[in-house]
Amino acid sequence: MAITFKPLHPLLAAEASGVDLSKPLSPALAKEVVAGMDQYAVLVFRGQKLDEDQQIAYAKQFGPLDLGLRKIRKGQPHRFKYDELADISNVKVDGTLAERDSSKIVSNIANQLWHSDSSFQKPAARYSMLHSVVIPAKGGETEFADLRAAYDALPEDLRQDIAGLEAEHHALYSRLMMGDTGYTEEQMKAIPPAVWPLVRTHAGSKRKLLFVGIHATHIIGMTVPEGRMLLMDLLEHATQRQFVYQHHWQVGDLVMWDNRAVLHRGRRFDLSERREMRRATTEDVEGSLENAA
């Protein structure tokens, strides 16, 4: 059996069909997925009914799993069997809708800012695998911006200006920006900031990319306002419509993206409607299933 990839956009994203993600992949199929990810950076698998165990088992085939922001809420109760599943929903532990002013909703809204998952830590995230369980009637799409195409399209003088520059990323910057200031000193320090070059090479395709996103707080060696303004300019460049694929969810979709190659953001939806997704994420570490080539 081979996977079929049908491109969904001129630059990135493809629908992958011919594979049942609830069963273990053969090594050959796993390599096809990795090769598809290296090329398209976003793969959409439709009609996958995965329970929590199956989603975790699928994700683990691509490397060790990331805990992300759960490190800041260690030991706090959540809805899932696994700490490694992120609850991307507007629903509380008791199954009712979260209050509009809760941290849970701030997190939903912070996810509507362009970001790369866990870019605030080392290792950061490689693959995110988001599975939709309940979707709202309207809105709540997810968008992906192609950072390799964004680098390719940078004017030469800007390429020279940013060569060698590095940005620091912090786990709670996006939450603070959205007005959630209720974090303790200890929580603020739970995930030390991570520094990444603005220009990186994608390990799977050897293409250069522009690594920006909302977790980046400042540029090393620049004043905060100068660095922030440059980061904002670069983010604006990277997220122009021609670089963006917008995903319209159906229940049962599993969308897998490469955090090294794309930024993503959720889109607004009516918070009084339920939107329930679960995400498993691999760490970007050596020894994970590497490029098939």
C-alpha distances (whole Å) from 154 to each of 118, 200, 234 are 25, 14, 9
100-129 residues near ligand OGA, rule: CB under 6 A: 111, 117, 128
In the bound complex, which residue of the shown chain has the CB atom lying closest to Mn ion? 117
Q: Is 148 in the site for ligand OGA (CB under 6 A)?
A: no
What is the number of the residue whose Cβ is closest to ligand OGA? 266
Residue owning tokens 């979707």: 135
- Pick from 29, 147, 198, 277: which binds ligand OGA (CB under 6 A)? 277
130 binds, among ligand OGA, Mn ion, none (CB under 5 to 8 A by kind): ligand OGA
Residue 259 contacts which entry, ligand OGA, Mn ion, none (Cβ below 5-8 A, type-dependent): none
Q: Does 89 bind ligand OGA (CB under 6 A)?
A: no
Cis peptide before 225 (omega within 30 of 0): no
Q: What is the Cα–Cα distance from 116 to 133, expressed in whole angstroms?
A: 22
Q: How far is the CB of 21 from ligand OGA (least distance, A)?
A: 17
Q: How distant is the alpha carbon of residue 94 from its chain centre?
A: 26
Examine residue 131 and tell whether it contacts ligand OGA (CB under 6 A). no
Nearer to ligand OGA, 111 or 282 (CB): 111
> Shortest distance, CB of residue 241 to ligand OGA, whole angstroms?
18
Helix (H/G/I), strand (E/B), else coil: 79 = coil
Beta strands in the chain (DSSP E): 4-7, 14-17, 42-45, 86-89, 125-134, 142-146, 166-169, 194-197, 199-201, 208-210, 216-219, 244-247, 254-258, 262-266, 276-283
Q: Which residues pair with 282 in a beta bridge?
A: 65
Q: Which of 107, 264, 276, 289 binds ligand OGA (CB under 6 A)?
A: 264
Helix, strand, or coil (residue 269) = strand
- Nearer of residues 130 and 149 to ligand OGA, judged by Cβ: 130
* Least distance to ligand OGA, CB of residue 247, Å: 8
